[in-house]
Amino acid sequence: MTKENLNPFAIAQAQLDEAADVLQLDPHMHAFLREPMREFHFTIPVRMDDDTTQTFQGFRVQYNDARGPAKGGIRFHPDETIDTVRALAAWMTWKTAVSDIPLGGGKGGVICDPRKMTQDELERLSRGYMRNIARYVGITQDVPAPDVNTNPRIMAWMLDEYETITGRREPGVITGKPLELGGSAGRTPATAMGGLFTIREAAKLKSLNLEGATTAVQGYGNVGSYAHILGQKQFGLKVVAVSDEYGGIYNANGLDCDVVLEHQRKTGKVIDCPGTDNISNEELLELEVDILIPGAIENQLTLKNADSVKAKIVAELANGPTTPEADNILNDKGIYIIPDFLCNAGGVIVSYFEMVQNGYQYYWDESMVHQRLDKKITTAFQAVNHMSQSKNVDTRVAAYLVAVNRVANAVRLRGWV
Ligand code: NAD
Which of 109, 131, 113, 133 minimizes the C-alpha distance to 121?
A: 113
Beta bridge partners of 278: 249
> Taking the mean position of all CA atoms in its chain, how far away is CA 163?
27
Nearest CA to ligand 1 atom 40: 347
Domains delineated in the chain: 23-180 (3.40.50.10860), 190-343 (3.40.50.720)
> Best substitution site from 93, 107, 110, 223 to test ligand 1's pocket, by max atoms within 8 Å of Cβ?
223
Nearest CA to ligand 1 atom 20: 245
Number of residues in the chain? 417
Instruction: State the catalytic residue, choosing from 71, 95, 107, 238.
Output: 107
Which of 317, 312, 353 minimizes the C-alpha distance to 330?
A: 312
* Residue 149 CA, closest ligand 1 atom number: 2
For ligand 1, whether the C-beta of 243 sits within 6 Å is: yes
For ligand 1, whether the C-beta of 191 sits within 6 Å is: yes
pTM over 0.85: yes
For ligand 1, whether the C-beta of 279 sits within 6 Å is: no
Please give the chain's pLDDT, 417 residues, in tens.
567 788 999 999 999 999 999 999 999 999 999 999 999 999 999 999 999 999 999 999 999 999 999 999 999 999 999 999 999 999 999 999 999 999 999 999 999 999 999 999 999 999 999 999 999 999 999 999 999 899 999 999 999 999 999 999 999 999 999 999 999 999 999 999 999 999 999 999 999 999 999 999 999 999 999 999 999 999 999 999 999 999 999 999 999 999 999 999 999 999 999 999 999 999 999 999 999 999 998 899 999 999 999 999 999 999 899 998 999 999 999 999 999 999 999 999 999 999 999 999 999 999 999 999 999 999 999 999 999 999 999 999 999 999 999 999 999 999 999
For ligand 1, whether the C-beta of 403 sits within 6 Å is: no
Give dist(CA 391, CA 311) in Å, integer.
Answer: 25
For ligand 1, whether the C-beta of 342 sits within 6 Å is: no
Q: Is 107 a residue of the active site?
A: yes
